[in-house]
A and B are shown apart, each in its own frame.
Chain A
């Protein structure tokens, strides 16, 4: 009874001793972060109407899949990868190329072969392709650590972007790929926003469950040990390279699934969705939400999506600058987090 009031400084005491308030806010930051962001999301959904909320929800689901999968690598294994967008792009392009049925000859630009596969046949191909790429890349990248790994992963993102842009015989380069098929099960086509949202959420759930399964297993514990001390983990009998490679590949495959969803959702993709900057944004989402926590990544993705929409209400900010303003805010947030809370909002691991 009495302890309760001692723990919660009243207004008066907060004025007299702001430090106490800050300490309290700090210790309860996780709670506050959860409350504020969820409240923000709910308010938004109510204010903006369901149609808008559905669109936002889909965007959120795709970013959340990416963030959760990247957190496996960054937060749990301690490999700060900025190249994740490459796998996202591989998934997106595979699905786009395999399912697109556009007659490019009419567009008077370069034509690419069309296959016209259904979405659910193309998606596994994309996922497997991304996995194979991840194996090849991972074998090479496995020996790098810390800052070298960061910069090499920059390289991976740039190489992927260049391939998307320049391998015109497959990707049509800057023209992009049109008419990516919508998912279809039997006669049921996910072509309206609501059903697509449902599909995206199902994907997200699968990814979250899978990640949860991974991180709560003995495998996940070994990953955290590798993050803390790779050589010491090795001495206790683990072949750390195999563990790192496995989680890298799994994470890449999840990202590719998100990419497939993305391609099908927008029905048109071009290389601009897979630039390095998007990858940096993704990393900042993961760090913002918190390293080594799945819920944190969901929250981070939610904040990211809400931030853009929230920006629209900033007076004096023209609409075309909203995306960039969000990047400025994220950049500043990243700096502040590194100064005051290097594990992110809900993180379990400090860089």
Chain B
């Protein structure tokens, strides 16, 4: 697709005929999409169209009922959540899920430490980890707050910290579930800035948003979903120009 294609496929993440149903409701119904490497992709769609479910499926929080997830050309039938960082994928949550009763600093540190069980028992914070934590906390403007508990932060700060926590995990693909919801303009700019910066580092971002201005401004690639199905997919400008998309999206 674009110049960023370095791996075996131009896509950092693909789904092939992915299905998920809850009881009789088909939340995601045979979805096949591709998320281009090194670009910002946005998923839009009315409420209940399966956007969050898609991210939950990609990050292994929900098991697939059918279909495949392809990460860097590796085809997976089962995505296990604890294996997603190894696959180069991480995420944030719509209902901010921080580690509430530990400090902001520890919230970032958790992501940086040893994953193997026995070595982790003998690991103390190393200078490299400290520096990285400081760098990230400064990046999201939370360095002064590092000693307070995550539960004592304001909503916007929690949202930022969660993005910071995802950033701490140095992976290629980030899935952001409504990163802009409920943010003040100032914070909003900061998140946008962070996302642009990540793109310039060659990382892939998938995010969900309801704010059409931001979608227009940020996204390179657009995926429009409706009731679990793909409505249309393509270059952001082109898709946004299609009248039926506007209708589907605004005429809920």
Contacts and interface: CB of A to CB of B under 8 A. Distances in A.
A219 B120 contact: yes
25 contacts: A217-B123, A217-B124, A218-B109, A218-B113, A221-B109, A221-B113, A222-B120, A224-B102, A225-B110, A229-B97, A229-B98, A229-B100, A231-B81, A232-B97, A232-B98, A234-B81, A235-B90, A236-B111, A237-B115, A238-B115, A239-B117, A242-B117, A348-B101, A349-B101, A350-B101
A236 B166 CA distance: 8
Contacts of B90: 235-236
Smallest CB-CB A-B distances: 8 pairs: A218-B113, A237-B85, A228-B99, A218-B123, A234-B81, A219-B120, A218-B120, A232-B97
A236 B169 contact: yes
Interface bracket on B? 20 to 34
Nearest to A240: B82
A135 to B, nearest CB: 14
Contact of B101 (A214, A228, A238): A228
B102 A238 contact: no
B121 A239 contact: no
A219 B121 CA distance: 5
A236 B59 CA distance: 10
B185 interface: no
Contact of B102 (A213, A214, A228): A228
A211 to B, nearest CB: 12
B84 A237 contact: yes
Nearest to B125: A218
Interface string A231-257: 111111111101100100000000000
Interface string B66-100: 00000000000000011111100011010001111
A320 B36 CA distance: 76
B124 A216 contact: yes
Contacts of A219: 117, 120-121, 123
A232 B93 contact: yes
A52 to B, nearest CB: 40
B61 interface: yes
B220 interface: no
Interface residues of A, number: 29
A162 B86 CA distance: 46
Contacts of A228: 98-102
Contacts of B109: 218, 221
B85 to A, nearest CB: 4
A224 B99 contact: yes
A225 B121 CA distance: 15
A305 B82 CA distance: 44
A232 B120 contact: no
Contacts of B124: 216-218
Given A218-B113, A219-B117, A228-B102, A237 B123 contact: no
Nearest to B165: A236
A224 B101 contact: yes
A350 B152 CA distance: 13
A218 B99 CA distance: 15
B233 to A, nearest CB: 26
Contacts of B93: 232
B91 to A, nearest CB: 6
A233 B115 CA distance: 11
Q: Which of A236, A239, A243, A246 has the most CB of B within 10 A?
A: A236
Interface in B39-72: 59-61
B17 interface: no
Given A218-B121, A221-B113, A237-B83, 7 more contacts: A219-B117, A221-B110, A225-B99, A228-B100, A229-B97, A237-B84, A238-B82
A235 B99 contact: no
A214 B124 CA distance: 10
A228 B96 CA distance: 12
A214 B123 CA distance: 10
B106 interface: yes
A67 B192 CA distance: 48
Contacts of A224: 99, 101-102, 106
A222 B110 contact: yes
Contact of B85 (A216, A222, A236, A348): A236
Contacts of B61: 231, 235
